[in-house]
Amino acid sequence: EVQLVESGGGLVQPGGSLRLACAASGFTFSNSGMSWVRQAPGKGLEWVSYIGTSSTTTYYSDSVRGRITISRDNAKESVYLQMNSLRAEDTAVYYCAKYYSGMGSFDYWGQGTLVTVSS
């Protein structure tokens, strides 16, 4: 059974930093691209970042580029999201999602972790 479990969310002040983690199991992690997708309270889904299987390929949305870094550790079957210079508009539930290779979609999602940016 595929499982994605996010952690690391919480309350942080504007300008602060946070590191999210996503632990994967139930599939060959090293063969799968991974992404983070967020959802602000009461709003729709917004793609944030993607990392390829060997970390050489990373993509970011315009809204987070330069402030957020995605990384992965295939030995630990985990993907991370380092978020710096956080703003109120970064407040959201952050979902880890497994990329459905070659299909342009995400076939498995974690339950999400809430990040709140507020003073």
Partner 1 sequence: EVVLTQSPGTLSLSPGERATLSCRASQSVTSNYIAWYQQKLGQAPRLLIYGASSRATGIPDRFSGSGSGTDFTLTISRLEPEDFAVYYCQHYGNSRWTFGQGTKVEIK
Residues forming the site for partner 1 (CB under 8 A): 35, 37, 44-47, 50, 59, 61, 95, 100, 103-112
User: What span, in angstroms and rounded, lies between the C-alpha atoms of 99 and 28?
Assistant: 12
- Shortest gap between Cβ of 101 and partner 1 (angstroms)? 11
With vertex at residue 37, the alpha carbon angle to CA 51 and CA 67, rounded to the nearest 5 degrees, is 70
Which residues have C-beta within 8 Å of that of residue 50, sequence separation ≥ 6? 33, 34, 35, 57, 58, 59, 70, 99
Nearer to partner 1 (CB atom), residue 45 or residue 87: 45
Work out how close the CB of 93 gets to partner 1 at its nearest, in angstroms, rounded to a whole number: 9
80 vs 94 by CB, closer to partner 1? 94
**CB 52 to partner 1: min, Å:** 11
Q: Alpha helix (H) ranges present in the chain?
A: none
Q: Which is nearer to partner 1, 86 or 93 (CB)?
A: 93
